[in-house]
Structure 1
Amino acid sequence: MHETDSTARSLHGLAAGGPQPERPDWTIPQEWDRYTAQEHAVWKTLFERQSRLLPGRACAAFVRGMAELPLRADRIPDFEELSAVLMQRTGWQVVAVPGLVPDDVFFEHLAHRRFPAGQFIRKPHELDYLQEPDVFHDVFGHVPMLMNPVMAGFIQAYGQGGLRAKALGTLEQLARVYWYTVEFGLVLEDGAPRVYGAGIVSSSTETRFSVEDDSPHRVRFALERVMRTRYRIDDFQETYFVLDHLDELLALAQVDFAPSYQRVSGAAEHGPGDLLPGDTVLTRGTGRYHARKRLQAAA
């Protein structure tokens, strides 16, 4: 699977046949002392690679969050240390889980400002290829943005909304909002797109692709447009939705989604690379990358 598949914890449910922890909330001890030198070395490789890429590509809030958290290149972070800083700033904490967790558990954690993070780290041969979200994706990718009050409030609201959406049978539509914001969102800064989505910021290849490549579309974020748009779980996104400012997430967190669910229910869905007449297109992509992949697959 492509490295971005590792972001789909709540979007695709629990991996079949996986072990179930003893605790109802699926939390487990991080057992930081049990990480090996090789595991810390994997973290160091990933941390240093991404840290070199992010200046000029990641948004200011992400860079600031990284600087203010106890994140170091030479060791996997201790969740208790992270939580102590997060609790003081935004009331969040990081809790360890074994990987994928059921939707209800995931939403319940987010609704109470607990971020469930994979406790394990990928193997050296999996630097760009991972089936489940690990500690690098979850901590490096997500936690710096939790230092931002706007993102902290939005993700809590997503957890609350996820519980309601599941009851209404509209989880797929809400999941697309999470995918195109928290995981693969861009925001304008100084007139240029910058990364804030964890699925991008934890991927060396998609960090460059999302903001520099001429292949993908970059389209102004519109809620119901996003709710009707499918996404790629096997490769880079064909379209990235761009906020004018992160504060838009604060307004989005206060929206009653029920009327939107009613309007999009039964409406035609859009493909990941579709452009629509009503779109505000910031960059019309060439589609070159995905066209080449389709030709290779057909050969």
Structure 2
Amino acid sequence: MNEPEDPASPAVDRSGFLADVAARSTHGLRGDYSRMRADYTVEQRYELYTPAHQDVWRRLYARQHELLPGRACEAFASALARLDFADAIPRFDSVNQRLHAATRWRLVPVPGLLPDDVFFGHLAKRQFPVTVWIREPEEFDYIVEPDIFHDFFGHVPMLFDPQIADYLQAYGLGGLKAQRLGGLKYLARLYWYTIEFGLVAEAGGVRAYGAGILSSPGEIRHAVDAPEVHRERFDLIRVMQTKYLIDDFQKVYFVVDSFGQLFDETAPDFSLLYRALERLPELEP
């Protein structure tokens, strides 16, 4: 997937990205981009979280935590228990001490959605971008783009797994290369069907490790329990051929035998694979 790249900080001028997203979006960008640095990071201004925000966090956490037994993978459940952030929105600095000690990753606060090159650049440097804003009480069941609950609850526990941690860095390096080779579409599908909506086979059955599943009350029941869902064994080419749904539950999920399998099968150079995929049909989700 990857080759050595220079994961340097992106250029300062990002006005084109902001204007493009605003033009294509029906809701505009949720985050405050006025205080961001050149690499899109901001301060986590903890004092801005109101009691209402903290209450939303506690209720979201309690609802999702109740759904995890028998559905979340062992690595996620174990890390979540050790983190123990049920009572308040996490402070990134505190989490970073434990995360860096475990897998040499750190969280970087960002205002919201990022350009592809910025996102890949952070991953390549073992930095995971986490949105700082949290949904309002009236958005409890639906948000238009990922907030801190999705990013933190869904993604951060898996960063404590060494194989997922290495996979994500390799993905970031591969993303920087894919931009040159026209492979972003295929790499986006890989991320979607693994880090966002991936399943893994464990001794007790199929379990979720993807953040889009683990942070959603409806998707976690649908992905693991629903009898009509297609749960296919992970096949790299099939994954990268398959389009995905952004406004509904997924119809198909891909199951890895282990996180080691995921890392090993995506380790080779993708240059020839991108060219081969251009000749293959796209598959409906």
Query: TM-score per shorter chain, which class?
Result: 0.7 to 0.9
Q: Give yes or no for contact 2:124–2:171 (8 Å, CA) kept in 1.
A: yes
Q: Give yes or no for contact 1:154–1:252 (8 Å, CA) kept in 2.
A: no
Residue 235 of structure 2: aligned partner: 222
Give the distance between the partners of 1:121 and 1:244, measured in 2 at CA: 34
Give the distance between the partners of 1:20 and 1:236, measured in 2 at CA: 34
Identify which of 16, 22, 28 aligns with 2:22: 16
Shift of 1:21: 4.4
What are the equivalent positions in structure 2 for 1:179-198 lying under 5 Å apart?
Answer: 179-190=192-203, 192-198=205-211
Summarize deviations over 1:200-228 as a string: whole Å, max 9, x none. Answer: 00000111000101121000010011100
What are the equivalent positions in structure 2 for 1:1-299 lying under 5 Å apart?
Answer: 15-16=21-22, 18=29, 19=33, 21-69=35-83, 71-190=84-203, 192-272=205-285
Specify the code of the residue in structure 1 equivalent to 2:158: M
Q: Number of residue pairs matched?
A: 259
Superposed structure 1 runs of 4+ greater than 4 Å apart: none
Residue 7 of structure 2: aligned partner: none
Q: Give yes or no for contact 2:36–2:110 (8 Å, CA) kept in 1.
A: no
- Say if 1:168 and 1:135 are closer, same or farther in 2 by CA, change over 3 A: same
Specify the code of the residue in structure 2 equivalent to 1:46: L
- Say if 1:256 and 1:236 are closer, same or farther in 2 by CA, change over 3 A: same
Give the SS at the match of 2:22.
coil
Give the distance between the partners of 1:139 and 1:183, measured in 2 at CA: 13
Shift of 1:148: 0.1
Give the SS at the match of 1:16.
helix
Give the distance between the partners of 1:44 and 1:215, measured in 2 at CA: 32
TM-score, scaled relative to structure 1: 0.84
Q: CA RMSD in A?
A: 1.4
Shift of 1:56: 0.9
Give the distance between the partners of 2:266 and 2:239, measured in 1 at CA: 15
- Say if 1:270 and 1:255 are closer, same or farther in 2 by CA, change over 3 A: same
Unaligned regions of 5+ residues in structure 1, if any?
1-12, 273-299
Give the distance between the partners of 2:265 and 2:43, measured in 1 at CA: 34
Q: Give yes or no for contact 1:153–1:253 (8 Å, CA) kept in 2.
A: no
Give the SS at the match of 2:149.
helix
